[in-house]
């Protein structure tokens, strides 16, 4: 099955040349780190592309990437993977790593093979052009996630770790998430710092508790929790905030903003 792009020409340019120019404008040359995971925003590039570009500029992208994103539309199963086929993008097709996907499905009680959740979901798609720019031949395992308890997230994280260890090759985990939605810039920055502090502390359970306690509208908290939990089990000892911004920095409207954070975990 071939998935066609859902938001090309909306969230990012629809032509290969224009997309390449825009992505490259956000990437900064420099030393690349081999990291376990990344947390990157998924708004339109005009608003969050510079944050995504900052964090992806820091890392080496291996041949295999698992992308975890929130299921905004609620279509399909709660924890849905597209387990085979490819994603058609303006800059070329990206193959799904069927071997790695099958291992995750084998080990997880919750993740299912369900294309429906991916048909129109933007949160995973907008990460792909940045990954292509850094490794044009990378293979993808996309997982769209609904809401879940800490216990469910921990199990999913453990299943991803078991699959990666059995697979035996380097795999990057990317969590797609924006931060606070539609509050003042001051409020967004205050709330988002609380969540970011939990990420920097490598505390996935504390991240979920903080998001609920302070009513932080972080849409990708589940992907971020699972990524943190998996990276910790894979040996992570450090997380780094590369860049934080809000939509107000671009639009000039600081009354209602969306927050964006780019972090890596090593």
3-state secondary structure of 174: strand
pLDDT digits (tens, 9 = 90+) for 112-170: 999 999 999 999 999 999 999 999 999 999 999 999 999 999 999 999 999 999 999 99
Answer whether residue 74 shows pLDDT above 90: no
- Compute the distance between CA of residue 52 and CA of residue 26 in angstroms, rounded to an integer: 8
Q: Tell me the angle at which helices 150-167 and 221-233 cross, rounded to the nearest 10 degrees.
A: 50
Q: What is the mean pLDDT of residues 43-52?
A: 98
- Compute the distance between CA of residue 130 and CA of residue 151 in angstroms, rounded to an integer: 32
**What is the percent of the chain where pLDDT is above 90?**
99
Q: What is the mean pLDDT of residues 171-190?
A: 98
Question: Is residue 242 very low, low, confident or very high in pLDDT (cuts 50, 70, 90)?
Answer: very high
Domains of the chain in sequence order: 2-7+29-265 (3.40.830.10)
| Predicted local distance difference test score (pLDDT) of residue 73 | 86
């Amino acid at each position: 099955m071939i998935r066609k792009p859902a938001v090309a020409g909306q969230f990012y340019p629809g032509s290969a040349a224009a997309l390449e120019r825009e992505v490259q404008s956000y990437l900064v040359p420099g030393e690349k780190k081999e990291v376990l995971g990344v947390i990157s925003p998924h708004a339109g590039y005009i608003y969050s592309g510079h944050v995504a570009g900052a964090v992806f500029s820091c890392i080496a992208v291996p041949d295999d990437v698992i992308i975890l994103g929130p299921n905004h539309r609620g279509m399909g199963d709660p924890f849905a993977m597209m387990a085979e086929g490819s994603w058609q993008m303006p800059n070329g097709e990206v193959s799904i790593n069927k071997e790695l996907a099958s291992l995750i499905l084998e080990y997880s009680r919750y993740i299912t093979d369900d294309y429906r959740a991916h048909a129109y979901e933007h949160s995973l798609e907008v990460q792909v052009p940045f990954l292509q720019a850094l490794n044009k031949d990378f293979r993808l395992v996309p997982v769209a996630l609904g809401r879940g308890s800490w216990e469910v997230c921990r199990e999913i994280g453990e299943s991803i770790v078991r699959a990666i260890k059995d697979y035996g090759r380097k795999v990057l985990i990317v969590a797609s998430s924006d931060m606070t939605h539609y509050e003042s810039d001051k409020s967004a920055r205050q709330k988002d710092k609380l969540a970011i502090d939990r990420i920097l502390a490598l505390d996935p359970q504390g991240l979920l508790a903080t998001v609920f306690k302070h009513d932080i509208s972080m849409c990708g908290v589940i992907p971020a929790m699972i990524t943190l939990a998996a990276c910790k089990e894979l040996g992570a000892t450090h997380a780094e905030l590369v860049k934080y911004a809000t939509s107000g920095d671009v639009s000039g409207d600081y009354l209602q903003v969306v927050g964006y954070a780019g972090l890596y975990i090593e």
